[in-house]
Amino acid sequence: MSDSNPPPVVVQNSGPKVSIVLVLVIALIAATGYLFYQLNQTRTEMAQMRDQLLDEISKIHETTAVTTQTSRRSVETLKTELDAARRQANQLAGQAKLDAEKHADDIAANLQKVQQEQSQRVAAVSTEVGKVKEQATAATTRIGEVSTDVGNVKTDVAATRSELEKTIATLKATQGDLGVQSGLIATNGKELAALKALGERNYTEFKLGKTKAPQKVGDIAVMLEKSDPKRNRYTIRVIADDKTVEKRDKTLNEPVQFLLSKATQPYELVVNDIKKDLISGYVAAPKVQQTRN
């Protein structure tokens, strides 16, 4: 063999290297696919986020527009109310001024009226003072006259009392038709006035004609049945406490007695004058009225 023949190629064993490279390529492809998937996923999420953001921005724009419009309307309403309030305040201020001026005028008018009334009162008081002075002078004169009159009245009272005492001294007490001791008996108007002045009993005067029905005399009723002026006698019926009692053939100035349930002392009827079909006199009733036991 000559030296021009090429040297033999030595082939080495490369199987493991190829396997490693192949695994790396596969891993690279897988990683590239995963990255591509992730990139697409990210793009999709970003697109969704962008759409959401755009939707939110649109809603915000709408809300902002509504809010702005509402705010504008509110501001316009507030401006209108403010203008109305200012006008009303101006009107109220003007009215208040007018009211204040009117009140001042009223006070001035009232003050003038009061001053006029005071002047009139002062004039009236001055007139009254003059009248009072005149009346005081007249009263002083009258006091002197009254003093004289009082003296005269005292004299008259003393005389009347003396006359009354004399009249009472002439009155007599007698026994009534019931056997009860009577009080003092009056036989005429003067003596009856003296008994009334004593005030020991209540006296009711009467004048009875002959009638068909009883006539009221104080607390009782009386009916004249018969009168005899010649003999000074009479007959009557007395109605008291729903009872009727006949008093027959009684005489002039005789105390006719009868009892009532409300009195402890008897009532007395005295006739001072007897005429044909007519008698007159009085009924004496006890002052103390109470139920008898």
pLDDT digits (tens, 9 = 90+) for 88-141: 878 877 787 788 788 878 888 887 898 888 888 878 877 887 886 788 788 678
Write the burial class of residue 18 (CB in 10 Å: 0-12 exposed, 13-18 middle, 19+ buried): exposed
Tell me the per-residue pLDDT of 127-151, one tens digit each, with 9 for 90 and over: 887 886 788 788 678 877 766 775 6
Kindly calculate the radius of gyration of the chain based on its CA atoms and give it in whole angstroms: 70
To the question of pTM greater than 0.85 for the whole model, the response is no
Residue 260 neighbours by CB under 8 Å, 6+ apart: 219, 220, 240, 241, 267
Each residue of 222-280: pLDDT tens digit? 999 999 999 999 999 999 998 999 999 999 999 999 989 888 889 999 999 999 999 99
Give the fold, CATH level 3, of 173-286: Tick-borne Encephalitis virus Glycoprotein; domain 1 (2.60.98)
Indicate if the pLDDT at residue 9 is higher than 50. no
User: For the chain, which residues make up each domain, given as ranges?
Assistant: 22-139, 173-286
pLDDT over threshold 90, residue 164: no
The single-letter code of the amino acid at 21 is V
Cα–Cα dist 154/227, whole Å: 45
In this prediction, residue 11 carries a pLDDT of 45
